[in-house]
């Protein structure tokens, strides 16, 4: 895969190096020559110094042959415009942007761009770790508005109905696994200790579920 990365800060450099190690064709753009010092010494991808909004710079990076472009500078406006340009003017199939400041998240949503907000994701992950291992995150959709979690039913919840521990107004139960066999349980399904339950919910929903589990203990 041919990938262009705009921004050679810590995130851009790490992403470029990982993709390079996976034998993808990588070009990385930054307006500052000093930024390329973030790259490991053995990186052998294409390095392009210049403004990512300039057509000549994008051409030198190989924009016309790119399968993907990732904009990860610390400027949300630059990320949004470069990504929009790549998708609309050059028809790059896969475009991803980094949201640096959460106050600018709406900008990326206006453009309809796939966005990763490291701040929002990081805060949610810290909250999850503070709650211990009650719920293990498996997948985050969008910018973390909805997440998929895996929970193991504790001993003290044995014999309770599914709807008691996982109320429908807070979470949506996707599947339950017992003794290696998965099923789609009804709300009145009786739980056993060790059952593995996969649920989708919002950050507010998982917080309420953590409280529910705490009160049930």
CATH at residue 149: 3.30.70.1450
User: Please, which residues bridge with residue 32 across strands?
Assistant: none
Do residue 40 and residue 93 come from a single domain? yes
Q: What percentage of the chain carries pLDDT values higher than 90?
A: 59
Do residue 139 and residue 101 come from a single domain? no
Do residue 107 and residue 8 come from a single domain? yes
Give the pLDDT band of residue 129 (cuts 50, 70, 90). Answer: low
Do residue 130 and residue 106 come from a single domain? no
Rg of the chain, C-alpha, whole Å: 22
Domain count, the chain: 2
Do residue 87 and residue 162 come from a single domain? no
pLDDT digits (tens, 9 = 90+) for 22-48: 999 999 999 999 999 999 999 999 999
**Which one, of 46, 22, 24, lies nearest residue 36 by Cα?**
46
Domain extent at residue 200: 121-216
Do residue 125 and residue 30 come from a single domain? no
Do residue 181 and residue 202 come from a single domain? yes
pLDDT top residue among 176 and 137: 176
The H or E element spanning position 118 is helix 118-130
User: In whole numbers, what is the pLDDT of the chain averaged over residues?
Assistant: 89
Q: Among 51, 83, 113, where does a domain finish?
A: 113
Q: How many CB atoms lie under 10 A from the CB of residue 127?
A: 13
Do residue 14 and residue 98 come from a single domain? yes
Do residue 6 and residue 87 come from a single domain? yes
Do residue 101 and residue 151 come from a single domain? no
Give the pLDDT band of residue 64 (cuts 50, 70, 90). Answer: very high
Write the DSSP string, 35-103.
GGGGS-TT--SEEEES-TTSHHHHHHHTGGG-SEEEE-SS-HHHHHHHHHHHHHTS--SEEEEEE-SGG
The structure tokens listed for 127 are 């909250």
CA distance 95 to 70: 6
Do residue 25 and residue 43 come from a single domain? yes
């Amino acid at each position: 895969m041919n990938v262009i990365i705009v921004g050679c800060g810590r995130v851009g450099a790490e992403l470029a190096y990982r993709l390079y190690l996976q034998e993808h064709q990588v070009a990385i753009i930054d307006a500052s020559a000093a930024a390329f010092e973030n790259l490991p010494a053995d990186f052998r991808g294409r390095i392009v110094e210049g403004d990512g909004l300039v057509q000549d710079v994008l051409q030198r990076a190989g924009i016309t042959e790119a399968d993907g472009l990732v904009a990860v500078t610390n400027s949300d406006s630059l990320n949004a415009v470069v990504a929009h340009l790549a998708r609309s003017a050059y028809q790059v199939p896969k475009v991803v942007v980094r949201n640096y400041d959460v106050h600018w998240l709406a900008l990326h949503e206006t453009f309809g761009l796939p966005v990763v907000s490291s701040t929002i994701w990081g805060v949610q992950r810290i909250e999850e770790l503070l709650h211990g291992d009650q719920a293990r995150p498996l997948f985050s959709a969008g910018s973390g508005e909805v997440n998929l979690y895996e929970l193991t039913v504790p001993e003290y919840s044995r014999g309770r109905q599914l709807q008691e521990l996982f109320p429908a107004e807070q979470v949506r139960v996707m599947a339950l696994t017992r003794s290696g066999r998965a099923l789609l349980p009804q709300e009145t399904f009786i739980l056993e200790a060790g059952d593995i339950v996969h649920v989708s919910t919002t950050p507010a929903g998982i917080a309420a579920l953590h409280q529910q589990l705490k009160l049930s203990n």
